[in-house]
Amino acid sequence: MAENSSGRSTLTRRLGIAVVVLLVAVVSYYLTTREEHNPITGEDQRVALSVEQEIALGLQARPEMMQEYGGLDPSQEGQQRIDRIGERIVAQSAAGQSPYKFEFHLLDDAETVNAFALPGGQIFMTEGLYKLLDTDEEIAGVLAHEVGHVIARHSSEQMARAKLTEGLAKAGQIAVYDPENPQSSEMKAKMAQLVSAMVSMKYGRDDELESDDLGVRFMVESNYDPHAMIEVMKVLDQASQGNRPPEFMSTHPDPDNRIEKIKAAIAKYSR
């Protein structure tokens, strides 16, 4: 009877400590991040960096990202094409009202099908994706989506949430750890991984959908046919056949679901 009482007492203490760790993580999140209003998305968001810091970070990381994907593509024609399309999107849409200085880069990687954005306005597309896109409108769909990530400040939001995610993981570790059970250390590690992964994946999917929505908006505003973004989704789906995990376990939503959201965005912004 005394052992059961002792076990319950130990569990109560562990749970109490876990709650304290959780509260500290939440308080730290609000103290070390800033709440700012995004005039383009209309959202109030918590971010880790100022606009100036985002721009500086993107410029600092740019050479490393170029090197990782084989440097800049030697095709001047391809580079000039994405420059022209990207600059039109920024100049003729609400993205041009932001303080970011967008630059567009075609990377010399013919095997990787990818496009991504660094905070502050550095946008990249691999040759592997570029050669799959037939029209300027399809290229615009990709670039407008990546511009959306920058405008929505997704990288800065992710950085702000990182400490909170870490705190949630630590609280989970403490709650399940039992010093008298050798297997609890393994459970502790699994709990940390699960909490971190699930939080990050959820935000990742939301970010992608928001960037799709903003991408459609910027395409409409810059007089590109937003239906081309649907074709881009089909291209990406075809390129990833057999390699895409289920939507719940992926940072990128299922292409079919994204297409439905894109259609809704087209109806919203084309009125």
Q: What are the tens digits of pLDDT across the range 79-130?
A: 999 999 999 999 999 999 999 999 999 999 999 999 999 999 999 999 999 9
CA-based nearest residue to 162, from 204, 116, 210 = 204
Report the share of the chain in percent with pLDDT over 70.
Answer: 69
Contacts with 117 (C-beta within 8 Å, 6 or more apart), sequence order: 123, 124, 146, 147, 149, 150, 155
DSSP state of 117: E
Contact by Cβ (8 Å): 213, 265: yes
Ranges 82-91, 171-180, 223-232: which has the least confidence: 171-180
Averaging pLDDT over each range in 48-62, 185-199, 237-251, which range is the top one?
48-62
User: 44-47 and 122-126 as β-strands: parallel, antiparallel, unpaired?
Assistant: unpaired
Q: Collapsing DSSP states into helix, strand and coil, what is residue 103? A: strand
Describe the chain by its helix, strand, coil percentages, rounded to 5: 65, 10, 25
Q: Pick the residue with more confidence: 194 or 143?
A: 143
Q: What are the tens digits of pLDDT across the range 124-158?
A: 999 999 999 999 999 999 999 999 999 999 988 88
CA-based nearest residue to 41, from 169, 214, 164, 196 = 214
pTM of the model: 0.77
Ranges 41-55, 64-78, 173-187, 243-257: which has the least confidence: 173-187
Contact by Cβ (8 Å): 149, 155: yes
Q: Collapsing DSSP states into helix, strand and coil, what is residue 114? A: coil
Q: How far is CA 110 from its chain centroid?
A: 23
Question: What are the boundaries of each domain within the chain?
Answer: 7-269
Reported residue count of the chain is 271
Burial (CB < 10 A; 0-12, 13-18, 19+), residue 28, is middle
Q: What per-residue confidence (pLDDT) applies to 26?
A: 63
Q: Collapsing DSSP states into helix, strand and coil, what is residue 106? A: strand
- AA identity, residue 224: Y
